[in-house]
Amino acid sequence: MPKLPTSQTPYPEELASLPTHLFRQAVEQAALAISITDARANILYANAAFQRITGYDQSEIIGHNESILSYRVTPKLVYESLWAQIQRQRPWNGLLVNKRKDGSRYLADVTITPVVNEEGDTTHYLGMHRDVTEVHRLERQVQNQKTLIESMVDAAQVAIVLLDEQAQPLLDNQEYKKLASELDTEPAAILLTELRAKMGSAFEEAYGKHHNIAAREIAITQSNGLQRWFSCAVSWFEEHDVGADAFYEPLRRHYLLLTIQDISELKKQQEALRINSLHALLSEQERIQGLRETLAGAVYQLEGPLNMLSAVANMMERRRDTGSELPATSALEEAMSKSREALDTLRACIPDQGEEVIQAVNLNEVLSDVLKLTTPNMLGAGIVVEWLPVEGLATIPGQPAQLVNLFKQLVANAIEAVNEQRGGTRELRLSCRPLTDHFEVFIEDSGPGIAHELRYKVFQPFFTSKGAARQHLGLGLAMAQEVANRHGGTIDIDPEYRHGCRVRVQLPRATGGRHE
């Protein structure tokens, strides 16, 4: 620290030319409280601002020690360091709690400078102070608010992080720290990357213009393969630069506030609910389909004998034309008319299919739903499943529930086939691959396979190789083929496959569609 000038220090020339009374007036009229004391801090002079701030006039203050201003709450240590400093002939600056003449207190920002004579002794002290009570109050208020906001943010159940313009975290809360340790990486970086990928140019636009982004759902896969879901929202916070440079030319900085809510549990519940509803919908569809096929089968079975009766009636009709009327003719005609009526009633009883709207269906999602629906059966049967989805999007135009039903039927058949096998491997492989104008799905099982001569027969309604005791109607593959046909696709059984059964389903892509 530079040593203070003493009375020996030569004055600059321009200072020497100034009249002495100018210094006195300058001190007297200064807005700062100025006092001059002897070496024991007894006041010799106090300017007008000093009188204004302390409430003491000249006559009341002169001759008193500066300690008259002490409110006696300032720690002794502060005074000790004050005196230690000024006795080493160094200026001291600090905060003291002062008491005015009327007893009211104020916080004083005090600077004390020793005045050193030609011999190098401190003869006087120059004291300058200003009332900083209000500044201190505002600082404390800001500090209190900051503490309050920080504890609120910390207590929040959502992860919150504030990023600077270079996307570096500046502030975060407990939940965010917890998330970072769970993900073993910076959550903001991965979630913003996913958000950018999900929103595309809309993200760039919002980011560039500092527009808020409403909550969006983002899925990420952890290093352990588990998928987690987050609801992420972006809002912006604008700060005015507090630097002196920006006092007259305000500079604004933008901070990104990212709030992250873990919705994995909610998503899990929603998914379980969706699979349950899908289960219920499929069961209902299967029941209706079964009823339709049964009634259609019954109509078909009855139509045969009725046609025979009709032929007999025609023969009898011809004989009647030759004059040899048989007494049973009219009875037969009546029986036939009643039978037709009964058949019509039966046909009318066939329930409607309940047409599903054609929409863009992701085959990967359909097959994943089928696996979810059949997992309990496969676990129960100890079957090892291999699932090879199409990379990227596998979208076709179709009826989602019908398609799930189709593959569920094929997977159920595969599980049943594996269960028939005693010993050996118990495997099921589900794969999907893109071709130019269609997708191919393969369902392979390690069961006994289907005999070559039955490859086409198995698709006929009411054909079953299981026998009546197993209560199989033999409608599953017929229904699956009907659904595939309705989607413009096909189902066939690979005759070359030797390790069990391989069913291939081909489904066309949308016209002009390409694998993305």
Of residues 110 and 443, the one with the C-beta less far from ligand FAD: 110
Q: Which stretch binds ligand FAD (CB under 6 A): 123-131, 257-265, 430-438, 447-455?
A: 123-131
The number of beta carbons lying within 10 Å of the beta carbon of residue 188 is 23
CB 413 within 8 A of CB 455: no
Tell me the closest approach of the beta carbon of residue 31 to ligand FAD, in angstroms. 17
Calpha distance 176→514 (Å, rounded) = 41
By rule CB under 6 A, what count of residues binds ligand FAD? 21
By CB under 6 A, the residues from 148 to 177 that bind ligand FAD are: none
Tell me the closest approach of the beta carbon of residue 72 to ligand FAD, in angstroms. 6
Of residues 80 and 437, the one with the C-beta less far from ligand FAD: 80
Which residue(s) pair with 260 in the sheet? 159, 232
Of residues 94 and 290, the one with the C-beta less far from ligand FAD: 94
Q: Which stretch binds ligand FAD (CB under 6 A): 121-129, 139-147, 428-436, 506-514?
A: 121-129
**DSSP string over 366-435:** HHHHHHHHHHHHHHHHT-EEEEEPPSS--EEEE-HHHHHHHHHHHHHHHHHHHHHS-SS--EEEEEEEE-
By CB under 6 A, the residues from 61 to 120 that bind ligand FAD are: 65-67, 69-70, 74, 79-80, 83, 96, 98, 108, 110, 112
Q: Which residues contact 103 (CB under 8 A, 6 or more apart)?
A: none
Residue 332's φ and ψ, nearest 5 degrees, are: -65, -45
Q: Which of 45, 56, 127, 398 binds ligand FAD (CB under 6 A)?
A: 127
- Is 129 a residue that touches ligand FAD (CB under 6 A)? yes
CA-based torsion, 392, 396, 399, 404: positive or negative: negative
Of residues 85 and 231, the one with the C-beta less far from ligand FAD: 85
- Which residue, judged by CB position, is nearest to ligand FAD in the bound state? 127
Q: Which residues contact 450 (CB under 8 A, 6 or more apart)?
A: 458, 493, 501
Of residues 76 and 470, the one with the C-beta less far from ligand FAD: 76
Q: Which of 45, 50, 56, 125 binds ligand FAD (CB under 6 A)?
A: 125
Q: Which stretch binds ligand FAD (CB under 6 A): 13-21, 34-42, 400-408, 442-450?
A: 34-42
Q: What is the chain's alpha carbon radius of gyration, rounded to the nearest angstrom?
A: 47
Tell me the closest approach of the beta carbon of residue 49 to ligand FAD, in angstroms. 13
Q: Which of 10, 21, 40, 250 binds ligand FAD (CB under 6 A)?
A: 40
Of residues 82 and 159, the one with the C-beta less far from ligand FAD: 82
- Taking CA atoms, 296 is separated from 119, 288, 339, in Å, by 126, 12, 16
By CB under 6 A, the residues from 440 to 469 that bind ligand FAD are: none
CA-based torsion, 287, 290, 296, 300: positive or negative: negative
Tell me the closest approach of the beta carbon of residue 150 to ligand FAD, in angstroms. 34
- Per-residue tokens: 127: 């004291």
**DSSP string over 420-484:** HS-SS--EEEEEEEE-SSEEEEEEEE-S----GGGTTGGGSTT--SS-GGGT--S-HHHHHHHHH
Tell me the closest approach of the beta carbon of residue 110 to ligand FAD, in angstroms. 5
Tell me the closest approach of the beta carbon of residue 66 to ligand FAD, in angstroms. 3
Three-class DSSP category at 325: coil
Residue 40's φ and ψ, nearest 5 degrees, are: -110, 10
Tell me the closest approach of the beta carbon of residue 5 to ligand FAD, in angstroms. 17
Calpha distance 345→412 (Å, rounded) = 34
Tell me the closest approach of the beta carbon of residue 135 to ligand FAD, in angstroms. 17
By CB under 6 A, the residues from 216 to 235 that bind ligand FAD are: none
Q: Which stretch binds ligand FAD (CB under 6 A): 7-15, 36-44, 419-427, 448-456?
A: 36-44
- Of 505, 345, 358, 342, the closest CA to residue 439 belongs to 505
CB 200 within 8 A of CB 180: no
Contacts to ligand FAD by CB under 6 A: 35, 37, 40-41, 65-67, 69-70, 74, 79-80, 83, 96, 98, 108, 110, 112, 125, 127, 129
